[in-house]
Amino acid sequence: MTSESISPRSAIESARRTIAIERQAVEQLEQRIDDSFSKAVDLLASVEGRVIVSGMGKSGHIGNKIAATLASTGTPAQFVHPAEACHGDMGMITRSDAALLMSNSGTTGEITALLPLLKRLGIPIVAITGNDTSTLATAADVHLNISVSEEACPLDLAPTASTTANLVMGDALAIALLEQRGFTVEDFAFTHPGGALGRRLLTRVSDVLVTGDDVPRVSPDTSLADALMEISAKGLGMSTVIDENGDLLGIFTDGDLRRALEQHHDLSTTHVGNVMSSAAKTIDANALAAEALTRMENESISALIVVDEQKKVTGVVQLLALLKAGIL
């Protein structure tokens, strides 16, 4: 069989038609979210073990992604291939688990073959199919309907809109379970320790701040000349301004110095307290470094002063240090 090249216009029209069909499938899916969905979430949230996800073919590929999403958002889950389950992998499934089975037709042989085995274990079953009256739908404790009007495939054969609906339903379950469990940013960080995401979620201000003698400090009575020496020596482009008890009074930056010179202040006689910024931006050492970065970007500043519960200066976190640490 020969093939003819498709024109750019035809390719664009094909893509738009595919997107329109799949968008319609998701819109139809939204209308079917009802008490059955709530029951499915309650059922999956109540199991002591894992959610065993299984599907054959394209449904299996979607199932793998759903299992990964569940596991990364606080719901222990594992994908088990239905054919392998019938040849030994049933040993992966325990009585404390629940099953999330997917088949668009609801009659896939490898999936329906699992039903008597799962029933014998006595574990609850949530089914995702496109057929309310199918074998899988009627055997399940809860059924979620993902039927579509048509596939995006012009032959109406290749799973396209149906797999999109399946994926969206799985994501909806995962996020509903996340919210029901009260899954936090810290929990998410625990399941994503590697890479850029892990750095954003695990790195705290305390990991990247400047402390001790490296923190520039001057009193409000310090001359601009001496403050300039402190800023140059510490290399942070700013200095904290503190009183005799170490309490934060303000911040003196190279920008404040520049404005003081533009106003013809004398470096030797003008005190820092007369030209400093009293509204210094502060942050807690336990805050996420990503939060510090966001604040700096939003407020167009390059450093935050780290203070303790008594508002005493404990360090400085600088924009450059966050960028070097990969907090992007």
Output the pLDDT for position 302.
Answer: 87
Q: Which residues contact 18 (CB under 8 A, 6 or more apart)?
A: 152, 160
pLDDT tens per residue across span 259-282:
988 999 999 999 999 999 888 899
When the pLDDT of each residue in the chain is averaged and rounded to a whole number, the result is 89
Give the pLDDT mean for 166-171. 97
What's the number of CA atoms in the CB half-sphere (13 Å) around residue 309? 0
**Whole-number Å distance between alpha carbons of 135 and 58:** 19
C-alpha 231, offset from chain centre: 38
What's the number of CA atoms in the CB half-sphere (13 Å) around residue 90? 17
Instruction: Classify residue 79 by its DSSP letter.
Output: E
**What residue spans define the domains of the chain?**
8-183, 205-324
Q: Output the CA torsion sign for 228, 229, 232, 238.
A: negative
pLDDT tier at 155, thresholds 50, 70, 90? confident
**Whole-number Å distance between alpha carbons of 306 and 284:** 6
Amino acid at 189: A
* β-strand partners of 317: 304
What's the number of CA atoms in the CB half-sphere (13 Å) around residue 271? 7
Q: Which of 101-115, 132-146, 163-177, 199-213 has the lowest mean pLDDT?
A: 199-213
pLDDT at 1 over 70: no
pTM assigned to the model: 0.65
Q: Which of 55-64, 146-155, 316-325 has the lowest mean pLDDT?
A: 316-325
pLDDT tens per residue across span 99-108:
999 999 999 9
* β-strand partners of 79: 53
Class of the CATH domain delimited by 8-183: alpha beta
Same fold, 8-183 and 205-324: no
The CATH classification number of 205-324 equals: 3.10.580.10
pLDDT at 226 over 90: yes
